[in-house]
Amino acid sequence: MRHKFYHSRLLLKEDRQHIRYQFRKDDEVHLADDDPTLVTLPEGQIRGRALKLVDNSTYYAFQDIPYASPPVGELRFKEPVAPEKWEGVLNTTKNTKICYQSGVYSDLGDLRQTEDCLYLNVYTTLKPGDDTQIPLPVLVWIHGGGLISGSGASLFYNPQLFLHHNIIIVTINYRLGPLGFLTTEDGVIPGNLGLKDQHFALQWVKKNIKLFGGDPEKVTISGESAGGECVGWHLSSLRNKDLFRAAILQSGTAMGAYSHQDYARFYAFELGKSLDSNFTSDDSAELLKLLQNTSASDITNNTVTVVVGKEIGLDIVGGMIWGPVIENKELDGAFVTGLFHEDVRIGNINQVPIIIGFNSEEESFLWRIDASRFKKWAKYFDSDPSNIIHNKFNMTIENKLTAGKKLREIYTDGTFEDDVGAVVTFFSDEEFSTPMTRHAKLQSYYADVYLYQFSYKGKLGGQIDDDDADLKGVGHTEELPYFWGQNSNEPIDPDDEKTRHRLLTLWTNFVKYLNPTPEEDDFLFNVTWEKVAPNKLVYINLNTTFEMQENPKKYLEWEKIIDVYAIPPLITY
């Protein structure tokens, strides 16, 4: 069925190639007495702002809306609970709060790290309170950052580009690092608190988005990198039933080995010991008491290091620790209770349409930051090819060696040390394209799946190639400025601008119609984005022309090895 309804502000096809996407300063709009920036929630009233888009149309921004009580004091390391009611009108006109974190984001401008950080932002072009309007579909964004950093603040994710396409945008904060993902695995400190924060925010959207002109039956969840991993876990948790009708996973899936922690209890107590050298207990209640009486900054900036044999995936040198866990289904509030790969394989998931995909050379991003890391990996893998498997798959010792050698042969005829660029490509596939293609294949048994590779190398992506062959391709995060804006005031290359609008059109078509190409469109090269089938791994190559292709990257070669040597049941792939 072709969708013929287009909102009156939807850009006509013939106009779109001439659009200059820019960001307007936050100039507030003078309002009449019937103030649409005043919204009454069940807990109390909030006041946002009326702002202008570049085309001079109005949108409404509500920032730092509390969706849960501050997780402080006795609520630290507990599941989120509803916020208390407040008196008067709550000011929701700017972002000021981000969750405690480590990494590249810290205090910046008006943003301050705080435990009181469970807030979300709503941006809408419809006038709140006007029931005569047709409700708009909603896109909920879950930020990335390795589960240790990031924020939903507009400083990082400006909604204006999406708002031109007549959808409502919701961005959220959630607890990070140990405050969000430490667990004793026995219910004393519950697992997956950061995921449960996100789930709580989705419940808030379902309950309240109609007050902002949103359609609670047309919610799509989305995220990039660790945000994409979180989206994967939400697909697998049946507690999310009816909270969203579609999902978008950019450069991340729970099918990846880095999205799951096998040694969570061990690291929880290691953290306790690092905070107090006199702490030697193995009692969960005593650990909770210690952690609830330690400053949040000390907990976040801990000195726990990865123990050999207890790494996440192949993270030999990266130091990843805090991540989602499989919870005992008998525990109260258990959110993730199944093995992700197996749940997707048998359809024990929220069977909704998805867009899922990766950039053409994801790890070129990390190579630019720390090339020495890949040299360490190359030496480690060559010293014993079974290390290429490491903790990622359940295999016998003999099969780890065989499978490791076969995987190395996919990327080089010699050693990794003699071809470090091959290690970059290996990790691009190992962490991104292989698990994401596997996810796409398995979910295609039960729902519509649209798979993509983002190959457009533009200036807007921010990662410029040089003469080093190891840097070719589109790196991790390069697609984000096409959706959420650039970090400079430099003029945008015209080809970048067209690509930006093409991507926004595909993504918002999916949010509105559950199909990124519901009808032929000259601006999209008249391409029809075909759906994945279990026996036909088709994907769209998002470059300068957009073509449908088959069998992305080295997936089939991986599959011939892993499906022979890995012992099921699998959690990741």
Is there a catalytic annotation at residue 225? yes
The radius of gyration computed from the CA coordinates of the chain, to the nearest angstrom, equals 23
Distance (Å, whole) CA 446 – CA 65: 36
Q: Exposed e or buried b for every residue in 432-455, given b needs 16+ CB within 10 A?
A: bbbbbbbbbbbbbebbbbbbbbbb
| Residues 17 and 523 sit within 8 Å (Cβ to Cβ) | yes
Q: How far apart are CA 482 and CA 184, in angstroms?
A: 40
Nearest to 172 by CA among 200, 193, 146: 200
Closest CA to 408 of 391, 430, 393, 392: 430
Distance CA 426, CA 409 (A): 11
Q: Is 55 exposed, middle or buried (0-12, 13-18, 19+ CB in 10 A)?
A: exposed
Q: How far is CA 97 from the centre of its chain?
A: 20
Give phi and psi for 415, each to the nearest 5. Answer: -110, 160
Q: Are 270 and 184 in contact (CB under 8 A)?
A: no
Q: Is the dihedral of CA 516, 520, 526, 532 positive or negative?
A: positive
End-to-end CA distance of the chain: 35
Q: For strand 547-550 and strand 38-41, is the pairing parallel, antiparallel, or unpaired?
A: unpaired
Catalytic residue among 154, 225, 237, 428: 225
Phi-psi region of 278 (alpha: psi -120 to 50; beta: other; left: phi over 0): alpha
DSSP state string for 113-161: EES---EEEEEESS-TT-TTSPPEEEEEEE--STTTS----TTTS--HH
Distance of CA 212 to the CA centre of its chain: 24
The residues assigned a catalytic role are 225
